Structure 1
Amino acid sequence: MDTVLLNNKEKDLEIAAEFIKKGEIVGIPTETVYGLGADASNEAAVRKVFEAKGRPADNPLIVHLADFSQAVDYTSAIPALAYKLAKRFCPGPLTMVLPKNDRIPMITSGGLDTVGIRVPSHPVMHRIIELAGRPIAAPSANTSGYPSPTSADHVMRDMNGKIAAVVDGGSSEFGVESTVISIEGESTARILRPGCVTREMLLEVCDEVIIDHAILHELEAGQKAASPGMKYKHYSPKADIIMVEGSLEGFISYVGEHNGDSVYSLIFDNDRDNFPYRYMTYGKDSSQQAHLLFQRLRELDDIGAKVVYVRAPETEGVGLAVYNRLIRAAGFEVIRI
């Protein structure tokens, strides 16, 4: 098919909503990354999403709503804590995993009896949901396993000819996918995938916040993924990504010992003056690193990098989300100096 590039004006958003109502797929901007939007209640439409991405069928999709009050239509139970979290973080980059009802097909939930619910804050995505009048399943709009898209150009490069349209809503604000949590008991949240809603922020509402083991480690054999981004190698460019933990001096020494043709490094902004090898920077702090990470990984492919050594970010705050994406892009290959 010919993929139509739309703008963010009302007339084009109406066209995008019509595509979704007809069971087609549309690349849509959100505040996190661009999503591949489809009617979450339409099995045939959701199947097209998996086909376009080449996504494994047991990798659940997140369902996006215009308002959290609509969650009652697609879930079988909503804990009191979920309402408290929604009041604080919705709309925004927080996804809550809740028991689903039959209005959400099993293909959408990856075969689970739960579904991730999110209310996006991006005005374009929000308006398309309103115009479509449908719950919208929207995994990242990239080829499965490749770095997530943060611009309409990224989506067109991955999805041109595979989906009906892409809506250009500018660059994504946050640059990494939403924080995904499950709720345990009356006052505990478990982070299944870190994002820009951090553990520290969740503790403003929850008595306890648990960091799931799978955030920094591979799932055990046979373990089901309760959230997108938990089970498979993700976010990885064509280049081999190797994360290196340690001081700048140690990093420079290690790269020097392994330097060669088509070898690049991904470093912090304030490292550049002392770094003697080929490099790109990806920000001076965790928020900038989150915003730039996927863009930089795609740019490294564009310039022909074959091996990329990455200075490991911190694991506090938003840094945990950046570290999580990188460790999966690296296939859990981390060098500790």
Structure 2
Amino acid sequence: MTKDSGAKPRGRIEPPTLVAIREAAALLRAGDIVGMPTETVYGLAADALNPAAVNKIFAAKGRPADHPLIVHLPSADHLPRWAAAIPKDALALARAFWPGPLTLILKRAPEVPDEVTGGQDTVGLRVPSHSIALAMLLVFGSGIAAPSANRFGRISPTTAAHVREELGERVAMVVDGGPCAVGIESTILDFSRDVPEILRPGAITPEAIARVIGRRPRVRGEAAGGGRADAHSADAAHAPRVSGALAAHYAPRTPLRLVQSGLLAAEAAALAGEGSRVAVLAHGLPDPRDSRLIWQAMPADPAAYAQELYASLRTADMLDADFILVEALPDGPAWRAIADRLGRAAVGSGASPAG
């Protein structure tokens, strides 16, 4: 196994001790990359002011270089170093939801490297609420770029073991912060244009944002009347590029289909009858259970469902199944972000990994 200068194996998982946190910070200062727990998903962390270190993120993930990264900050006090202009509503939301799963897209400060922003004039910033992530940030003392610690386009990691499975020795070490509490990526809210707009849904909903700033943000893909917007509209064309906005993302290698509740059992049985091995993620289990199928019950509560989603997809992807069927989600704002992830996972499923 490859050794680093301290004769420790790369890709190792370390418990979240102060010694490990200090070692992770030292590795970041030296220009290496480490796995960092957050409340959303595990991040692949690098010094956000070191272009060479940031490029190691892209190489490890197989991520296109024009895809911007989110910078994690120790506190909102660091915002002026990273953002050139901070609207008062953005400050109000930072006070309300930071530390937490909200990323603000703001005009970048001059010193922010192009490698972080994908060459754009904007930067994504947030303060995570995970205690280990905050400890790493405080010890490091500056911004950490940290996209999800997985191969590009694949299922995001929500445990330290997932990071090691995905990246192995590409990462110097992984600090184990336990399973992620939120389980899906942060809400991304754009403040770089005249009207705030959610470019990626997450745990912080448009309704929660409206309660703080007194107006509901636009939502990418949603028309003013609440229906679907034209994805090729002028507004969409001028929106900043952000993480997780591609049609295919968060995807298993096994082909994944979303199936309406009333059709799920019949479609699963039909595929099994054709000789296919089928993994099913559903809100309940069939009675009696069909021995030809692999059923996994998913929580009825949206927050619990989100927390389990990626781990459940990863488990299903490891079953050597021919298909993954996922029961369609209930309607409602609480399920919006989960539906977004599953829709992108379905589009990207079954393909070879990028890079």
The reply to whether TM is greater than 0.5 is: yes
Q: Paired residue for 2:145? A: 137
Report Cα offsets for 1:124-147 as digits up to 9, x if no partner. Answer: 111111111121000001111110
Of the candidates 317, 323, 326, which is equivalent to residue 333 of structure 2? 317
Overall identity of the aligned pairs, in %: 36
2:324 corresponding residue in structure 1: 308
CA 1:174 to 1:274, structure 2 compared with 1: closer, same or farther past 3 Å?
Answer: farther
Matched, 1:190 2:197: yes
1:261 and 1:177 map into 2 onto residues whose CA distance is 32
Shift in Å, 1:284 = 1.6
- Unaligned runs of 5+ residues in structure 1 are none
* Paired position in structure 2 for 1:123: 131
Report the RMSD for the aligned CA atoms in angstroms: 2.4
- Distance (Å, rounded) in 1 between the aligned partners of 2:240 and 2:172: 29
In structure 1, what is the Cα distance between the partners aligned to 2:117 and 2:78?
17
Q: 1:263 aligns with which of 275, 278, 303?
A: 278
Superposition pairs of residues 53-132 of structure 1, within 5 angstroms = 53-132=61-140
- Asked whether the equivalents of residues 184 and 190 of structure 1 are also in contact (C-alpha less than 8 Å), the reply is no
Residue of structure 2 equivalent to 1:250 = 263
Letter of the structure 2 residue corresponding to residue 5 of structure 1: I
Q: Which residue of 2 aligns with 1:15?
A: 23
Question: Alignment partner of 1:111: what SS?
Answer: coil
What code does the residue aligned with 1:299 have? T
Aligned amino acid, residue 293 of structure 1: L
Alignment coverage as a number of residue pairs? 329
Q: CA distance change for structure 1 residues 225 and 261 in 2, over 3 Å: closer, same or farther?
A: farther
Alpha-carbon distance in structure 2 between the residues aligned to 1:5 and 1:184 = 38
Map of 2:212 onto structure 1: 205
Conservation of the 8 A alpha-carbon contact between 1:225 and 1:231: no
The 8 Å contact of residues 59 and 225 in structure 1, kept in 2 or not, is answered as no
| Runs of 5+ consecutive residues of structure 2 not aligned to the other structure | 3-9, 350-355
Shift of 1:58: 1.7
Q: Is residue 288 from structure 1 mapped to residue 301 from structure 2 by the alignment?
A: no
Partner Cα distance (1:116, 1:15) in 2: 26
Give 2:56's aligned residue.
Answer: 48
Structure 1 CA distance, aligned partners of 2:61 and 2:141? 24
8 A Cα contact 1:263 1:306, kept in partner: yes
Paired residues of 2:37 and 2:132 also in contact (CA < 8 A): yes
My pick for the range that moved more, 199-208 or 108-117, is: 199-208
Say if 1:225 and 1:274 are closer, same or farther in 2 by CA, change over 3 A. Answer: farther
Q: CA deviation at 1:184?
A: 6.8
Cα displacement string for residues 178-226 of structure 1 (whole angstroms, at most 9, x for unaligned residues): 110113778x531111111112211211312221118989965995752
In structure 1, the residue matched to 2:352 is: none
Can you list the C-alpha shifts for 1:222-271, whole angstroms capped at 9, x where unaligned?
A: 95752101125211111001112x3x332223333333422222111x34
Q: Distance in 2 between matches of 1:169 and 1:210?
A: 34
